[in-house]
């Protein structure tokens, strides 16, 4: 691979407002069925403005992210089509799609737009209506549930269509890195299973306390329904079968409908708004196509190197880590790769509950993709939302114990893009 380096931003940029819908399955609730991408993105955008104390007229430009607006919403110009939902008719905007990394790219792009001096107040975020599809050629509120027959052929679209998907190179991604880890540190298959199940369990504990999360039923209750006293016994049982060599059903992210947005401005302006500003120290990037061996590990390592060089922060400075874990094992693996957990020891931290929302090295405090749900293009923006409310101490029942001052977010997706962002609370 060809390595990279990040330059310093031309001016410091901070997040001054965040807004989000819950992650939902609108098909399961008659009161939600009929929600559209405009309803959701518009709500998240206006909530972010309200949070900052801004009106739509104050926002100069916006970025709109969605993993696959053509498939999910029959739209190829979605930014144009949602702008009027939140009072920005006539303002400039751009749409972007980087599959599951979209929400992280949303942060990178908005920060660059402000750092460049082109704009002062920029809104950015993502939306996906990922549990259904347009019901033929009808208005947006008429949707039908999505089936596996709908989604599977389309998942290929994140994999190179010249070579990789036809040369059998795209199917190793869920298991490759955890397989390397297992061999490197001599874990048995049963130990890996326990570690993954513990991550599922701890994620659900957080999600149960998070009103925005999709899957909120504690595994204790689910286990009881299946006749188990111990949730770990349920998680390792045939009722939770393997879907890949290492992952079980609970190691995969359920699709969700939802949106999340944030607003950035120059840090020097940020203190005049409602909330404690959260500075974006930088966003690094590395992208490796699905045929590349160990692509998630290597792109994470490259992006981590870049962000540490740029910001000068050390892994021990990080108080909170958000990792796109639609492949559940990514949580542990990325945490070790960026140095948040010691190499080869992270799995013990997981087993001891130290990576839970109420542990001393919290990861994915919103529940993670496998419990919070995964509204593809919105999920990264929902991670930004989560990091910001945790750093402000506004996370309520799932608030981490020690108020985080520095957070790292590792985005991943789209065959595959990696972004690493570092956020830091601006001192009073």
Can you give the binding site for another protein, defined by CB under 8 A? Answer: 1-2, 162-164, 166-172, 174-176, 179-180, 241-245, 247, 252, 290-294
- Closest approach of Cβ 156 to another protein, in Å? 12
Rounded to a whole number of angstroms, the minimum distance from the CB of residue 250 to another protein is 13
User: Would you say 58 or 179 has its CB closer to another protein?
Assistant: 179
Backbone angles phi, psi at 63, to 5 degrees: -105, 135
Assigned token pair, 30: 């008659």
Kindly state the smallest distance separating residue 291's Cβ from another protein, in Å: 5
Q: Which CB, 163 or 226, lies closer to another protein?
A: 163
Cβ-based burial of 301 (10 A; exposed 0-12, middle 13-18, buried ≥19): middle
Backbone angles phi, psi at 145, to 5 degrees: -60, 150
User: Shortest distance, CB of residue 153 to another protein, whole angstroms?
Assistant: 13
- Smallest gap from Cβ 251 to another protein, in A, equals 10
Smallest separation (angstroms) from another protein to the CB of 235: 17
Query: Given the DSSP bridges, would you call strands 257-266 and 278-287 parallel, antiparallel or unpaired?
Result: unpaired
DSSP string across 90-108: T-EEEEE--GGGHHHHHHH
DSSP character at residue 374: B
Measured from the CB atom, the residue of 290 and 406 that comes closer to another protein is: 290
Alpha-carbon distances, residue 72 vs 40, 47, 135, 153, 230 (angstroms): 14, 23, 10, 14, 39
Q: How far is the CB of 162 from another protein (least distance, A)?
A: 5
126 token code pair:
């993502």
Residue 97 CB neighbour total at 10 angstroms: 20
CB of 328 to another protein, least distance (A): 13
Q: Which is nearer to another protein, 154 or 179 (CB)?
A: 179
N-term to C-term CA, the chain:
42
Half-sphere exposure in the Cβ direction for 130 (13 Å, CA): 27
Among residues 176 and 279, whose Cβ is nearest to another protein? 176
Q: What are 50's two structure tokens? A: 């309200």
Compute the least distance from the CB of residue 6 to another protein, in Å: 17
| DSSP codes, 196-215 | HHHHHHHHHHHHHT-TT-S-
DSSP string computed for 115-135:
HTTS-SSEEEEEEEETTEEE-
Whose Cβ is closer to another protein: residue 64's or residue 165's? Answer: 165
Least distance (Å) from another protein to the CB of residue 374? 15
Q: Which residue, 142 or 185, has its beta carbon nearer to another protein?
A: 185
Which residues have CB under 8 Å from 262's CB, separation 6+? 15, 17, 18, 19, 48, 106, 107, 110, 123, 124, 125, 381, 384, 385, 388
State which residue, 96 or 292, has the beta carbon closest to another protein.
Answer: 292
Q: Angle, to 10 degrees, between the axis of helix 176-185 and the axis of helix 295-311?
A: 80
Task: Using alpha carbons, list the distances in angstroms from residue 318 to 24, 69, 347.
Answer: 30, 35, 18
The count of other CB atoms within 10 Å of the CB of residue 357 is 27
């Amino acid at each position: 691979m060809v390595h990279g380096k990040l330059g310093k931003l031309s001016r410091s940029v901070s997040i001054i407002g965040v807004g989000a819908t819950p992650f939902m399955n609108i098909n399961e609730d008659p009161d939600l069925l009929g929600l559209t991408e405009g309803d959701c993105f518009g709500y998240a955008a206006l909530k972010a403005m309200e949070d900052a104390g801004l009106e739509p007229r104050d926002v100069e430009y916006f970025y709109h992210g969605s993993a696959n607006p053509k498939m999910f919403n029959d739209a190829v110009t979605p930014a144009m089509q949602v702008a009027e939902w939140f009072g920005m008719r006539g303002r400039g905007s751009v749409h972007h799609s980087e599959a599951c990394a979209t929400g992280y790219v949303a942060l990178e792009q908005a920060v660059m737009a402000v750092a460049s001096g082109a704009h002062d107040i920029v809104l950015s975020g993502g939306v996906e209506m990922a549990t259904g599809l347009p019901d033929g050629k009808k208005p947006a509120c008429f949707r039908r549930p999505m089936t596996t027959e709908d989604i599977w052929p389309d998942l290929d679209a994140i994999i190179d269509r010249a070579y990789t998907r036809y040369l059998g190179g795209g199917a190793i991604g869920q298991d490759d890195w955890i397989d390397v880890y297992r061999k490197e540190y001599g874990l048995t298959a049963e130990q890996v299973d326990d570690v993954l199940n513990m991550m599922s369990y701890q994620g659900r504990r957080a999600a149960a306390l998070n009103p925005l999360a999709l899957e909120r039923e504690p595994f204790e209750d689910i286990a009881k329904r299946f006749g188990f006293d111990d949730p770990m016994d349920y998680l390792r049982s045939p009722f939770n079968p393997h879907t890949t060599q290492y992952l079980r059903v609970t190691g995969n992210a359920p699709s969700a409908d939802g949106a999340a947005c944030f607003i950035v401005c120059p840090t020097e302006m940020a203190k005049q708004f409602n909330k404690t500003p959260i500075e974006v120290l930088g966003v690094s990037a590395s992208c490796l196509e699905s045929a590349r061996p160990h692509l998630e590990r290597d792109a994470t390592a490259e992006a981590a190197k870049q962000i540490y060089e740029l910001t000068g922060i050390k892994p021990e400075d990080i108080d909170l880590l958000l990792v796109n874990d639609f492949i559940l094992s990514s949580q542990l693996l990325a945490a070790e790769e960026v140095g948040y957990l010691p190499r080869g020891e992270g799995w013990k931290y997981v087993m001891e509950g130290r990576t839970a929302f109420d542990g001393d090295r919290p990861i994915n405090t919103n529940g993670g993709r496998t419990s919070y749900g995964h509204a593809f293009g919105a999920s990264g923006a929902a991670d930004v939302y989560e990091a910001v409310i945790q750093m402000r101490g506004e996370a309520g029942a799932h608030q981490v114990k020690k108020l985080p001052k520095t957070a790292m977010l590792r985005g991943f997706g789209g065959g595959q893009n990696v972004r690493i962002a570092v956020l830091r609370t601006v001192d009073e």
